[in-house]
Every structure is written in structure tokens, then in C-alpha cells.
Structure 1
Amino acid sequence: MSVTDVTARIQQIQSQLAMLAPAGTSSSSATDFAAALDGVTDSTGTTGTGTTGDILPSGKAVVTEARKYLGLPYVWGGTDPDKGLDCSGLVQLVYKNLGIDLPRLSADQAKAGTKVASMAEAQPGDLIAWDNSSRNNGADHIAIYIGDGKMIEAPRTGLNVRIVDVPSTPDYIRRIVPADGVGAVGAAGGARVSASTPYANLFTAASEKYGVPAALLSAVAKQESGYNPKAVSPAGAQGLMQLMPGTAKGLGVTDSFDPNQAVDGAARMLRDLTNRFGSTSLALAAYNAGPGAVIKYDGIPPYPETQRYVRNVLSMMKAAS
């Protein structure tokens, strides 16, 4: 590994540890540090993501949930629906109720998910935000787009949560969940792999079950372990799909060395990452470097290892198809 790779690895680990620690807390204790390391990518590239395997909600579900709070009073700093909410408190609560954790502040929420190029491409459930003040670094007002040029917001003191026209072009448009009918998984699973491919039956079965291309699963297995179900990386990643122990636990995989469990768990993780980030390339980057790194860099992180990983897997996937 070159000096550049080592430097990139250090920066990667530092950024992921910082994101794993809740705001205002420290992970300096041995226990916290060990727990955080369990979610950091290893030398073969698989991270602990805490993925549960649940399918992400739709944009329509986000809008439906947000409508429940119409008429609630605005309270600066408010996060309690029994008392009132501010703009980022509303956004955080709506997504939390749907099983998605977002940061507390609007400036951080406006960096979550993936970028949407323009309002012409915005979908219900997307976050739209504005940077209205030079006193703040980043967005200071955020709302949930509901379609047809309208949004739900917690506006300001003296007003209630309401539906209004989008007043101006947002400075930030972010997609947290897949657009309805776009990027969803579970229908066609993708190309089958050759019967001569190791574990072809497992990749095909997981593809049909979760909608993840069998060729993608095969390519990940080849890149991660060389199809070796007993592989263990120096960092502790295990099995055919090189799952870290924390990742495996979050996926309900009790034995990472069991190819059946490993492929099933990796397929669910790749399904969720694809739904979350909207593309196979970003899903692979998150599988390798962690979702936090993809969010931080708003794309494939500038880590040489991760960039090679994505290129290699996509190339093998194309060849297998």
C-alpha cells in the first residue's frame, strides 16, 4: 500500500469515527472506540453499516407522515411534537418515524442523502433548503417537498406547520429515499451468472429474492474474498462477502462463514444502499467505505482503494453479465 493510500485510509477512518459519534459526545473511551472501529472499513473494504435490511420508505410515505404535523406551532429549537417543532425538528421527526435517522441541524440535513440537480427533478419526500444568512455556515431553513411546487415547513415563530408554495429556488435539494417507482428493488433481479461461477445458485436465489443483480453479488464476492468462504481480513472481516462482525450482526447474519447467510446478508445490504444512494456505484462505495463517507463527499469518496474497488466490481459485473 502506497503512502497516498495510507494517508487516505487514516483520513477515512477519522471521518467515519467522527460521524459515528453522536453530536456533542466523545468516543474516547476504549469501549466506544472499539465499537466505532467495528463499523470502519477493513483492508478488503466492507464496512459495518447498521443496516437492518428493511426497504426504505417511499417519498409518498414521507409526505403522508409530514402531513400529520400540519397546524402544530413553530417553536425555535423544538423537537417535541407535543410542544412544537422548528424546521429541522420537523424534518428529523418525520424521517425518524419512518426509521431513518437524520442529523438535528438543517445545515447537516441539507448534506444528507444524494444531490438532486434541480427542482425539475425533485420528487415528493425530497428535502429542500436555503442558506438565508451569512452568519451561518450552510442551510438555515429546510422543508419537505410534496410535489406540484409545494412544500411542508415549520416556518417561524408565530406561525404553524403549513403547506406553502416553494418560494424560491432552493440552495439545496437532497433525496433521502428513492423516488416512487424509481430505483426500487425487488422486481427483476438482473442478469444471471454462469452456472460455472462459484456459488452461482446462491447469487441467483438472492437476486430473485431482493432484486439485486446476481452479477453484482458475484463480482462483490470475487473482489472481497476471491470466492473464499473462509477468508478473514487483517481487520476481522469474515467470509465470502467479507462482512465485519458489527455489520453481520445488524443484518441478522449469525455466521459470516456460512455462504448462504453471507450472500443473503450482503444482498440485503446492497439493496438498501442502492435504494438510499440511488446508484450501483454509490452503493458499492458505501459497501466499501461506509455510508458516512459517501454522504460526506456527496459521491464516491476520494480514497484510492474505494475508487479502485468500485471500478473493479463494476468491470467484473459487466463481464459476468
Structure 2
Amino acid sequence: MTSMGVNGVISRVAEIKEQLGLNPPPPATVGSASGTKFASALADATGAGIAQPGKSGPSGADVVAAAKKYLGTPYVFGSDTPSKGLDCSGLVQQAYEDLGVDLPRNSWQQAKAGRPVGSMSDAKPGDILAFNSPVDHVAIYLGDNKMIAAPKPGDHVKIQSVYEKPSHIRRVLDDIPAAAVQDMSALRPAGLRAPAGGVTGVPYADLFNQAASRHGISPKLLAAVAKVESGYNPQAVSKAGAQGMMQLMPATARGLGVKDAFDPAQAVEGAAKLLSQHLKEFKSVPLALAAYNAGGGAVHKYDGIPPFAETQAYVPKVQKALAALGG
């Protein structure tokens, strides 16, 4: 790809733009409003990831780091919910999803995602390794002939040697100089544009945009809360027992209709609902954040941000994260 030069890449992107205007998005993505998901769609068409202007997108190393969060998770056939267990393709899909990149659910579909890699000598960390024909198993390559996988029933997500030659090696993410991509917004065909004021470039961007839209709040505020609460980790558990990416206490989650706080979609929906309630009640972002952290009753009791060290530190942290997102 790099041998094409910048002009060659730009020309190729223009061709893909035209193709995307005529054809539906590739199967490796779900129709989406986020720039990250469009990058994934374009990656499937070109065989390469596209960096956002002025910065790089997620890398293979990021995929490896995301997958390692699930080490020890039990193998459960047919499950793509980490709190319940994962099968092999569920692990691969979840690791990429944590970076905002959609992959198909089944192993044989994942064996067609991205672009082909010729051999193990060319494989890089983050590549998808698929096995057998027809494909019935997938894993994520770590480098040094190691991979992370959910191997079989009765086992768990773990690091293994690459025990046989893969039938397919696929690269979903590539590094391309940011200068090779001009204004990405001009390349998004109708239906793939990020919503006005939407958040991009963070894990679960679509969930934040969609839930915020439903509840009339800022998606950037919602993403900032997730960043401070858990670093976008859907499996986070606090010492106090708060659960999931949005760190909902079990009783609070039940009151919001969240059955599984470890499920990112449910967690974000519940947090959006809760933040919306606090914003309507207190008419102030700092007070709404204080209520999210310490409870609305504490905000009323102290007629402002409660004098708790955690809450006093929490509010400016979220505001700083919000500013970093352009909110």
C-alpha cells in the first residue's frame, strides 16, 4: 500500500467513494453513523484501515490489548456476552468492538474481513487467524507465533501457540499516513455521516450517539463519563460494587431497567437515562455529574457539589475528558 504513494492512496480512496455510493456497505460493518464505523467499512473495501485526519486510528496492538482484557473468560458456545462467556468468534468480535470496529459474528465471516495476509511470516499482532476449511475457529495473533483464543467448551480465553497453519490470515487494521486521507467527511456517502455534535474516535461511539439522541443529552458528555468511570472497560467492577463501563450500582441499574450492567448497550442506555434525569432536575452539568457520582439526594442535601473527596475530584475529571472530546 505504501508503494502507491500519497497521491495513489488518495486516488484509490476516490474510487472507493464512488463504489460506496453505488453499493451497500461491506459485510464486515453494520450501517452506522460514526466516522469510526465508516473507516471500518472503507477498510474492508480497500484492505486497509484509514486513519482520522491528524491522528492515527486503532492499531493491531490495540486489538491485542483489548483481547487480553478477556483472559480467563470461560468458553461458552454461542455467547458474545463477556459476563456470561465467549466463544472464539465472540472474543474476536468483542475485541474489535471495544475499539469501535464492527466485525461479523461468525468465524467463517470473520475469515473474510479486512484483507488477506499471505503467510505467517507476514502476520502482525492484531491479525485474525482462521483455521480449517470450512472455517470453524478463529483467534487473534499476538506475534512470536502466539495467539489469544477461546479454544473449546470447558476451557477459557487464553494465550496459545499457533498450533497449525491457519487457513486464512486477515488484517482489518493497517497504519496509513494521515496525510493520505483528506477530509473524511467529504468521503462519507449519504447515510454514513456522523451526526451533528456526535462523538467519534472512541470505543462504543455509536452507542453513545444513539443513547444520547434518545435521551436528549450530549453524546460527548456520555462518552466522557464512560472514560472517567471505567476507561471504556465493560467488565470494570469497583470496590463499592459498581459494575460495567458506566459503573452502575446494582440497585441503580435495576431502577433504570438495566438487566446486565456488563452489557455495553444496556449500560450506556441506562447511564444516558440517568444523566438525562439529573440534567433536567439540576439544570447544571456539574451538578448532574455530582449526582451521577454521589446521588441526587446528596446534591440536594449540600445544595451543590457534595464535600466528598471522590465527588470533588470526579466532576472536574469528567469536565476535562469532555473538553478533550470537544464538548
TM-score (norm 1): 0.43
Q: Greater relative contact order: 1 or 2 (C-alpha under 8 angstroms, separation 6 or more)?
A: 1
TM-score (norm 2): 0.43
